[in-house]
Chain A
Amino acid sequence: MMRLWIVSGLMMAALATAQVWLAHGRYAIAHKTTLARHHVENTQAEINRLGLELASLTRPERLRELAKQRLNMAPPLPMQVWRP
């Protein structure tokens, strides 16, 4: 009878320990999931920001000015335009 109680007690203790271990595991996974989600959101935001920066840097008016001022380029003359 005494042995049965001891075994039951040990099993209870083991189950309790497992429960605590699982709770910690769940917590760690939740933490990782939250971090991953934030990472995805931040990456998406960075993509948007970089896309916008690219659009700002390559806007036609800016390129036109840069081509004129830095590269001494000019619009093509009619005879320089040819369609392959």
Chain B
Amino acid sequence: MSGSKEIYVRRRLEVIVGLISIGFLILVIRAVDLQWYQADKLQQRAEKQRQRQFAVAAPRGAIKDARGRMLAESIEVPSISAIADEVPSDRVGDLAKAIGMDSARLKRKLVGQHGFTWLARQVDPAKAKRVMALQIPGVRQEMEWRRYHPLGPETGHLLGFVGVDGHGLEGLEYSLDHRLSGRQGRELVIRDARGHALPGGVWLQKPRPGKAAQLYVDATIQSLAYAALVEGVKRQGAKGGSIVVMRPRDGAVLAMANWPSYNPNNFGKFKPSEWRNRAVTDMLEPGSALKPFTIAAALESGHWRTSSRVFCEKGRFRVADYVIHDDHPEGWLNLTGILAKSSNIGAAKLATDIGPKAMYRMFSAVGLGRKTGIGLSGESPGMLLPSNRWGPVETATIAFGQGVAVTPLQLATAFCVLANGGMRVHPKLVKGASVRPPKRVMPEYIADTVRRMLEKAASPDGTGALAVPAGYPVAGKTGTAQKPDGHGGYAKGQFTAVFAGMVPADHPRLVIAVTVDRPQKSIYGGVVAAPIFRNVASAVLPYLGLPPEDSQPSPAWHALQVADHVSGSDGSAAPAGTVPTLFGKSLREVRNMLASRGYQLHVHGSGWVAKQSPSPLSKMPEGGAVEVWLDD
């Protein structure tokens, strides 16, 4: 090889080595750049590609009634969302049609926008399926929890509702939100190159499902109370009404309903003013329904006894510059008569005699003028002026329920004191929630005395006769109060009809307070509200297993029934040659049963068998006669 050629080859080698060195140097520099200067950033990007965080929704706790029946439950429903800039503008029309949204509105949401946006939340699964079938880029289906209340309007005010974000906005859903709400979980998942999850996911935050809540409310009683209220309010052409059913023994609220109601599954279609649970938020003048507590205060003062008599001024009595009237003018009445005849003048005279302090103490002790603490939002404390602001007129009028305001729940709670022998219980809705213990606020003999007087007030001689269901004695009081006009006076022709009482009168199992707002056909509590009380009591007491008193069988009858139950539930399996049990059976059933044994039948009355002779299981030869008395 010549010298010049050798130099040429050498130069070429040097250039190649140089280029390789430069390339290697660049690689080293790049490696240092990647591994040193950009290490953290790139590490993060790599982790981002490999790892993904998933939100794991936690369902809201269910609400159940006292018997474990579902009152509120959450289920997953689809929602439609989109990444706005990924949706082709020429598909917006199809999308709008499938969602059922105005095309122009959807365009405003998507065209020219960026990132995630909700298109339709909590939609019908069939609609979501139709939307996803269009396979429009950028349109996604997400699953969200939606709350359902199967009893709808019957529990609307009590339970309230839940917003799309899963938090309670009204009623118990709001009050118990911290308990019912679950906590969303987040899981970190490692993905492979194809995006599939690999084992070893880590919980960044474990999901915590919401806790269930069980109420004292009974779905059947709630439904019966609501149905009776609706029927009673509609029959009177009234504007609305409320009902509270309580168990006086422990203050458990068994039902609470208002009408008009709203459907919590579709709350957006109702006005916010219709969402209010008026049984706890709205106060009203209870009228004569407060007289039992005036009587109790009078008895407690020691100035008055049950036999004391008051002259009721023949229906017209002046206190300072105010004239009090009675609907039914009376002369002398004892305390029972004041309640039974609902004399305003009698009550006013008692209150004027014992003074505002004793009256205020009694009203305050039974819970008027303060919140019951039931745990529902927006509860009103009612209105009870401090006793130092009671002049002679206020003292007289408050005695018969004017110038004082209560909620239907407060009224029911106050009547629980009379039903409980003077012990005040605090109303409670949720099982397991802490409740203040019962407290004596009235001597037992006074509570029992007033309760007996109230039984008279609900007798045919009193104003509350229409409240009494067949077979169940009632102790209760009617009330009729003019509605305030908002300017310090009373609205002409606008009344609230009230009935509050307990049943059965001797051992009360239920306390029921009914208020009806602006009835049209009649204004009196005894005509408007009392029948609602009766309808609820007559349906609920049998449901609770409490038979009516006039059909209560004797212990001997019980033994026979048990024996009969063992041998055969229809009485037909009584031994041959003995009279079967016929109690409670229809005439047709009795005829068939006796004919099959060859007995003759003598019938008195119509309806169902109330009495029979000979008694069940008596021995009687074939051809003998059985006499039955039927009663409808």
Contact = CB atoms under 8 A, between A and B. Distances in A.
Interface string A26-45: 11011101100000000011
Contact of B547 (A45, A75, A83): A83
B73 A59 contact: no
A61 B227 contact: yes
A29 to B, nearest CB: 6
B198 interface: yes
A56 B550 contact: no
Interface in A31-80: 31, 33-34, 44-45, 48-49, 51-52, 54-56, 58-61, 64, 75-80
Interface stretch (B146-154, B394-402, B459-467, B612-620): B146-154
A81 interface: yes
Contacts of B220: 60
A45 B76 CA distance: 7
A49 B75 CA distance: 6
Contacts of A54: 70
Interface residues on A, range: 20 to 34
Contacts of B227: 61, 64
Given A45-B76, A55-B69, A64 B565 contact: no
A82 B548 CA distance: 8
Interface in B378-422: none
Contact of A80 (B148, B198, B562, B584): B584
A61 B553 contact: no
A81 B551 contact: yes
A31 B196 contact: yes
Among the interface residues B62, B199, B469, which one has the most CB atoms of the partner chain A within 10 A? B199
A79 B561 contact: no
B565 A82 contact: no
B333 to A, nearest CB: 33
A49 B73 CA distance: 8
A83 B545 contact: yes
Given A30-B197, A64-B227, A84 B561 contact: yes
Instruction: Give the dominant DSSP class at B's interface.
Output: mixed
B281 interface: no
Interface string B195-210: 0111100000000000
Contact of B607 (A26, A56, A59, A77): A77
Nearest to A76: B542
Contacts of B76: 45, 48
A78 B469 contact: yes
Contacts of A81: 542, 546-548, 551
A51 B70 contact: yes
Contacts of A77: 470, 607-608, 632
A63 to B, nearest CB: 9
A56 B196 contact: no
Interface string B73-95: 11110000000000000000000
Contacts of A34: 197
B622 interface: no
B199 A29 contact: yes
Nearest to A58: B69
B224 A60 contact: yes
A56 B152 CA distance: 9
Nearest to B148: A52
A82 B197 CA distance: 64
Given A55-B150, A60-B219, 6 more contacts: A27-B192, A52-B70, A52-B150, A59-B154, A64-B227, A82-B561
Interface of B: 59, 62, 69-71, 73-76, 148, 150-151, 154, 192, 196-199, 219-220, 222-224, 226-227, 469-472, 538-539, 542, 545-548, 550-551, 553, 558, 561-562, 565, 583-584, 607-608, 610, 631-632
9 contacts: A27-B196, A30-B197, A60-B222, A60-B224, A61-B154, A77-B632, A79-B584, A79-B607, A84-B565
The 5 closest A-B pairs by CB, nearest first: A55-B70, A60-B223, A78-B548, A78-B471, A55-B150
